[in-house]
Structure 1
């Protein structure tokens, strides 16, 4: 691959905000990345809970966000809300006039939960990303309850939805790159 092709390739980063590595949230996020890769994007997965014995490396996650054209944020839902790891990550992301790495970026959300009753917890993730950070959202995101899994794997229809979400993330990131206005979004004061 030439340097020019590498620079032109869309870079998608997925961040799993699960307190534990692996698991259903990772499975769902990997399916989104699969769709992004099939669309020609370079993809990276970061797991904040990969090593339960060490604190998450939020600084490395923020640097990956800076380099990304699009970001998929994933979190298991507990009591209809996202994890502390997602909250801590959003607190680590700068949001100043001179430094706002999420502003004008394509984002989407992925959530897993023990029941369908937790689906609305995703709205809190979206609100923070869109209204606070001025990111552009590929909606509706992906919510997966236990019925969406066949053992450790996603059910085929859910896998397809996840891959379509990854494609949409690449397409929105591409549109933002070529837009005279979308990339200049700034957070509300």
Structure 2
């Protein structure tokens, strides 16, 4: 069974990024994946985060957008993550499937998805499902509920993420790719 981990980089527990990644993971579960959510606002032990990434077949990074970038909590996890080069003893993202879910007040910062995609794909050699998701305030009925259109999009993306992850797992040559430098 494919296992997918949603990492939520919001500094506050709950919130729109959690709602969005849960919707994505609901779609993945409907496609047969086992899912788990880890909220960084709960200050989990950094080693426990790395172990959760290692155990998962695919990781969905969910983050609010600040100044057209991912949250500092997501950046902190990535700063702690080894790449499998230059003496690293592990590489938990290497050859893994990844998905991106960004949330923001307006659509003006949707290109923040590209920044995280570049880091995951080029720096870590993760295989990133494109195009990623970006939900703005108008995509929510209230703080805890996506609109029907946004929920449908998240579910479709989740089903695609489950299928994509299974395909990456079944492709040893794809998993053997290494970071750019």
TM class by shorter-chain length?
A: over 0.9
The correspondence for 2:63, drawn from 62, 71, 75, is 75
Q: What RMSD in Å do the two structures reach over aligned CA positions?
A: 1.2
User: Is 1:109–1:141's contact at 8 Å kept on the other side of the alignment?
Assistant: yes
TM-score (ref. length: structure 2): 0.94
Correspondence for 1:181 among 150, 168, 173: 173
Structure 1 stretch 110-119 or stretch 172-181: which is displaced more?
A: 172-181
Question: Which residues of 2 match residues 31-180 of structure 1 at below 5 A?
Answer: 31-50=23-42, 55-97=43-85, 98-151=89-142, 152-180=144-172
| Partner in structure 2 of residue 24 of structure 1 | 16
- Number of aligned pairs? 177
Moved over 3 A (4+): none
User: 1:160: how far off?
Assistant: 1.0
Asked whether the 8 Å contact 2:100–2:132 carries over to 1, the reply is yes
Using the size of structure 1 for normalisation, the TM-score is 0.90
Shift of 1:56: 4.3
In structure 1, stretches of 5+ residues that fail to align are 1-8
In 2, Cα distance between equivalents of 1:82 and 1:14 = 15
